Structure 1
Amino acid sequence: MYIAQAFRYSHSFWRYLVIPVLFFGLMALNYVFIEMMDIDVGQVMRDEIARKGSNRVLVENLAAFVIFLAGLFLWVKYVHNQPLKALTTTRKEVDWSRFWFAFILVAVFNIVVTLFDYFSNPQDFAINFQLEPFLYLLLISVILIPIQTSFEEYFFRGYLMQGLGILVRNRWIPLILTSVIFGGLHYFNPEVTKLGDIIMIYYIGTGFMLGIMTLMDEGLELALGFHAANNLITALLVTADWTAFQTHSIFKDISEPSAGWDVLIPVFIIYPLFLFIMARKYKWTNWKEKLFGKVEKPQALEIE
């Protein structure tokens, strides 16, 4: 249903080609420029933070997503003639209770795990809290981070999922491709340089979990809430010199970064637990069909 409802609106192939080509083309040009100029991105980030402050750099890094999200919404509305609700959910109205359930679930989990880690390994953390910069960070994060995560969800789990689904007429190829591409784009994050390629299991696994959540629940609400809470709480709670978000957070991780079982545990234990909780709450059934079944074109409408 979630993918198939895109058939009700203008869905010819070229309409679904332009936005991905522009977005991935921009990412590719950025990568080529960095490689050709031999730019040390981490050092540039540190220099910018030293010159402008981390809050201003955070705003500058997130501001582009305001443009990306607005551009995607306008394209869907005026080129696909598709209302935003149809890109969001199959329900009559967007179910904000689902968004807030996922948001609170992830926020509470991240806070509890971070505090447990802090009290178990206090030598790995420094108190980074400063009231005034933190309040500015809080304001910036509450406004801009949900825009960043919403763009990623609407683009990958929404626009690409629907576009690929009506192209290949099944659910499993969009699930795999959007998850791998989503995770793959994180390969350029500074965390990968520090922790190694094993961290990609976490990023791609996160893509799969969000994709499964979207297909099983027939909408983006849970994925939107999950992603927003994960990035927002992380930005407010913990920073480190080697992370993508360097902020005036409460704690600073000063340990020597390494990746091992802590990368695998979220993907193979925590994420299945989240899916189990949501499946029980929202009574998900027919997993095989929803994740691997065909996408049938409605017979009543023939809109190209």
Structure 2
Amino acid sequence: MERPRTAFDAYLDEAGKGRESAWRTVLSLVMIVILLACVLVVLGGLVFAGLIPDPGDDLDTATGMVVTLVIVASLLPATALAVRVVHRRAASGVLGASGELPLPLFGRAALVMAGVILATAALGLALDPRIARGPMKLTTWLLTLPPVALLVLLQVTAEEYLFRGYLVQVLARRFRSPVVWCGLPAAIFTLLHWNDQLGGAMNAAVLVSIGAFALAATTLVVRTGSLAAAIGMHFANNMAALVFVSASTATDALALFRLPPIESPEWTASDAVLLAALQVASMAAVSFLLLHARSPFKMERRDAVDGSPVVPAPER
């Protein structure tokens, strides 16, 4: 008996509408890297011409943060172009089944994530009440909030488009095991957040936290057949960490408030374990609230998309 088609099956079908082969995937990734390098060259030229401020080697300034967000956001057009040119399919198909990106899923995931972040922050402040104002004046912060929020939205969309969208699609079409199509992109995404400025225990805690986030985001894509919820969750997370309350000296230039930075040598291994446990529990709470059948915030899982049986991807 064939199982009913799911939203994720329909999402993977989008990859089947174009040209599929291992060499095209490799070529796409090479193309993305080249386009990203072009963005870096252009930004360097603008700095050299004096058209934008030089962020220097330190990216923990407002200019440096904006430049970083722009660089990451450029992954969105780079990946979309690779999908269109190399795979010969619609770039919108990476966003969701039939190219759809349901805004209600985005909003619900963002609100749930924001609520969990507030609860986690309250618990954290109860354990360690140290918090301080950030470097920006309130009026400046309010004026820059809309463009910064837009940049953050583009940045998280770019990351989800590449790591939970494109890579998951092409790998899941070729491999049945979620260890490959879920685990590999999540591992790459996690390792890209490696921070050699942190102590060993705290760096491990951050990587565990990022890994838990990546797995939760992928689960949302599998259940909904769309990047909308994952983007919403990611947007709420990054707005909280970059714009409202930062806990890192590398990302506090645009933040309204500062917590004791994770780079501080005062943190112990026990503190790192507690941080990792708290973040994993937060991701579990978000997943429960969005996916559990009895949750008032649950997102409906569409088990039958069009009534047709699941057609496996062709062997290549």
TM superposition score normalised by structure 2:
0.74
| Cα pair 1:198 1:259 within 8 Å, conserved | yes
Deviations 1:234-282 (A, max 9, x none): 2122224x44312242211136444122212321x32222222222322
Which is helix-richer, 1 or 2? 1
Deviation at 1:217, TM superposition (A): 1.8
- After superposition, the Cα gap between the structure-2 partners of 1:150 and 1:202, relative to the gap in structure 1 and judged at 3 Å, is same
Deviation at 1:105, TM superposition (A): 1.4
Alpha-carbon distance in 2 for matches of 1:183, 1:111: 24
- CA RMSD for the aligned pairs? 3.2
- After superposition, the Cα gap between the structure-2 partners of 1:213 and 1:148, relative to the gap in structure 1 and judged at 3 Å, is same
Letter in 2 for 1:166: R
Equivalent residue for 2:274? 261
Deviations 1:7-45 (A, max 9, x none): 121222222112334557989xx9xxxxxxxxxxxx942
Letter in 2 for 1:278: L
Structure 2 unpaired stretches of 5+: 1-8, 41-55, 304-309
Alignment of 1:184-203 (within 5 A): 184-188=191-195, 190-191=197-198, 195-203=202-210
What percentage of aligned pairs have identical amino acids?
Answer: 23
The answer to whether 1:180 aligns with 2:181 is no
Deviation at 1:71, TM superposition (A): 1.4
Alignment of 1:61-72 (within 5 A): 61-72=68-79
Deviation at 1:192, TM superposition (A): 6.1
Alpha-carbon distance in 2 for matches of 1:97, 1:283: 11
Deviations 1:271-304 (A, max 9, x none): 2222222223224488xxxxxxx98127xxx9x9
Alpha-carbon distance in 1 for matches of 2:257, 2:157: 26
Alpha-carbon distance in 1 for matches of 2:198, 2:32: 22
Deviation at 1:144, TM superposition (A): 0.9
Deviation at 1:127, TM superposition (A): 2.4
Alpha-carbon distance in 1 for matches of 2:300, 2:163: 25
**In terms of mean alpha carbon deviation, does 211-220 or 223-232 score higher?**
211-220
Letter in 2 for 1:74: L
Equivalent residue for 1:155? 162
Equivalent residue for 1:244? 250
TM superposition score normalised by structure 1:
0.77
Equivalent residue for 1:297? 313
Alpha-carbon distance in 1 for matches of 2:176, 2:123: 45
Letter in 2 for 1:274: V
The answer to whether 1:141 aligns with 2:148 is yes
The answer to whether 1:209 aligns with 2:209 is no
Alpha-carbon distance in 2 for matches of 1:66, 1:99: 18
Aligned match of 1:11 in 20, 24, 27?
20
Equivalent residue for 2:283? 271
Alpha-carbon distance in 2 for matches of 1:215, 1:142: 27
Instruction: Determine helix, strand or coil for the equivalent of 1:81.
Output: coil
